[in-house]
Amino acid sequence: MAYVNPSGEYDRDQRYIPTRITADGRDGYPVEPGRYRLIVSRACPWANRAIIVRRLLGLEDVLSMGIAGPTHDERSWTFDLDPGGRDPVLGIERLQEAYFARYPDYDKGITVPAIVDVPTGQVVTNDFAQITIDLSLEWARYHRPGAPQLYPPELRDAIDKINRLVFADVNNGVYRAGFAGTQEAYEKAYARLFARFDKLSDLLAGQRYLVGDTITEADVRLFTTLARFDAAYHGHFKCNRSKLTEMPVLWAYARDLFQTPGFGDTIDFVDIKKHYYVVHKDINPTGIVPAGPDLSNWLTEHGREKLGGRPFGDGTPPPPPKAAEVVRPGHGPEAAGLTAEATAAVEATAR
């Protein structure tokens, strides 16, 4: 949830459910294979983080995933992609039902990602920032062989620092520009966003990834915003100093990740555009979804391997997504021409 304060600035409601699923079960929810269900929407950048991390770590067989549709009303995300409009595991039509099952008077945002306790049907947490960290640390026993270290101890301070900056100025910054209630608030958010983009470009001009020489949690968090930038934020949120394709370093960095197994194959460009342009009636009252942009350029050569680094460190790329979790035909990577050859090339580089 969010609102525009009296000065016209967008304020994100960050009162998330702080309960954690941990190896020792200290919050009452121990890590158990098959017990929980991760609820996402491919349209949402915050949920997309959890989709990527779950896939990179190989947790598909221990943490099932339910996918809500790209649009919602003021009440909740819905499972309109599933037969009968119900999640096949939880049996609910709206994610709201899982929140109310635990908190009947819940008055905060019904957000994704959320993890639901399947036996009780109750939401456990929707703390998106903590969810991905816990998937790396608390679920480690169940990681696939060769899973990368996305939050290694020696890099955590550096990862946390850049995550704070990227969240404030980029991940949330695009929303601060898009939902600003005054010209002054919009221009302030716009300036912060592109100032941070310039600094990130300077950093990434000399190194392949944000922290260290492998993919980390920091790269996952930046990528999900970059993947949506030209499709939604540039036009819909008026973040229009430059398209991503016009920022050479960030564009090459984004393509490098997009062409890495576990990243581009989670992106649903159709759902992304439909969500932003249909749901935000206050910004786009006609609900018209743009036909563009052309996506084929996501597959062009990026040249980032010249900077060195190994995408998965001492680990290995994840296997292809499970059949039930492949992005719908015409919606995702194949819409941008993400070929088997491109995936194979990335995998060869990672070895």
φ/ψ of residue 12, rounded to 5: -80, 130
Give the position of tokens 């819909």: 236
- CA 149 from centroid of its chain's CA atoms: 18
Residue 172 · residue 193 · CB < 8 Å: no
Task: Take residue 324 and report the two structure tokens written for it.
Answer: 């039930």
Where do the H-state alpha helices sit in 205-247?
217-228, 234-236
Closest CA to 78 of 128, 39, 25: 39
* Number of residues that make up the chain: 351
What is the end-to-end Cα distance of the chain in Å, rounded?
42
Residue 218 · residue 152 · CB < 8 Å: no
Please confirm, yes or no, whether 36 is among the known catalytic residues.
no
Closest CA to 315 of 56, 9, 26, 40: 56
Ramachandran quadrant class, 313 (left: phi over 0; alpha: psi -120 to 50; beta: rest):
left
Identify the active-site residue in 10, 29, 36, 44: 44
Question: What b/e string do you get for 62-82 counting C-beta neighbours within 10 Å, with b at 16 or more?
Answer: bbbbbbbbbbbeeebbbbebb
Task: Take residue 250 and report the two structure tokens written for it.
Answer: 């960030």
CB contact set of 240 (below 8 Å; sequence gap of 6+) = 234
CB contact set of 233 (below 8 Å; sequence gap of 6+) = 174, 177, 178, 225, 239
Please confirm, yes or no, whether 239 is among the known catalytic residues.
no
What counts of helices (H) and strands (E) characterise the chain? 11, 6
Identify the active-site residue in 142, 175, 190, 233: 175
Active site residues: 44, 175
